[in-house]
Amino acid sequence: MPPSPDLAGKVVLVTGATGSFGNVFIHRLLEEHEPASVRVFSRDELKQYDLRRKLDDDPRLRFFLGDVRSLRRLTQATRGVDVLVHAAALKQVPACEYNPYEAVQTNVIGAENVVSAAIANNVPKTIALSTDKAVNPVNLYGATKLCAEKIVVQGNAYAGDSPSRFSCVRYGNVVGSRGSVIPLFKRQAEDGLLTITDEAMTRFWITLDQAVDLVVNSLDRMQGGEVFIPRIPSMRVVDLAEAMAPGVERRTIGIRPGEKIHEVLLTEDESRHAAAFDDHFAIHPSFPFWRETAYPTGEELPPGFRYTSDNNDRWLAPEELRSMTAAVIGVD
């Protein structure tokens, strides 16, 4: 990917920068996009140390210990920032269910603080990471991410005459991210028994590199208020199990609380003010009075269109899944 004009020579701050996405995004940012500096904002000093070593102590890196729950710290960290990528979140569904106050503090209040700090320091572009779990949420994690999306999109209204603009990207399950099903299946395969919640289950599937490409491209496209959704393949969980552990015994244990059989990235109601492009959909806000120019015109979606993991036109075959998972876990 050629250097992005929105990143080359710019000061970029990444919240949740030591997570799965942040690690890959920052590596790609330094290698491909020639930023002036990258501010690593996260809570864990050990993970920051590990990232510093992994990136050979690149002189463009700046390390900020902090929590998105702290508006004061975020306001300090965003001074002079050109681009803010908000990736910090509590994302483990069971942990969020058990600790709802903590999930709200990080995912909802944290999003509000990111918007407030960006406006206070006139950060031109902020893009936040969301998830298919935010669509018709059935668990607290999804509900907090839905709130975060609304807060970020409406941040454009709070910005007033500020140059600050806000958008979101929304995507599905990430191959090999922390806490994903791949390391679980790998451990279970070694024990000779895989647990499947429901054999009909499907999921959207995206690699970390594809997620980074989505964010970079969305920074180039955004005018403020959009939710960008990639057109990505689906996979069947039973196909993933067969790809990772052919012939290993499987047991169906039933769907867990807060879990869906199929995921949704775009609803019928959202599609009424969304447009389709070759590699993505863009949901446009209903009342974008801050908009200076018209949003790009894409293909109009048919009435009642919805984009779900079970009605996708692209599916990953077991051999594709085998190749992807082997790359993630380092086995053939």
Tell me which residue of 2, 260, 14, 221 sits closest to 137, measured CA to CA: 260
Amino acid at 193: L
Active site residue 133: yes
CA distances from 5 to 31, 197, 220, 278 (A): 15, 45, 8, 21
Is residue 57 a contact partner of residue 31, using CB atoms and an 8 Å limit?
no
User: Which one from 125, 133, 145, 260 is the annotated catalytic residue?
Assistant: 133
Residue 187: CB partners within 8 Å, gap ≥ 6?
Answer: none
Which residue type occupies 44? Answer: D
List the catalytic residues.
133
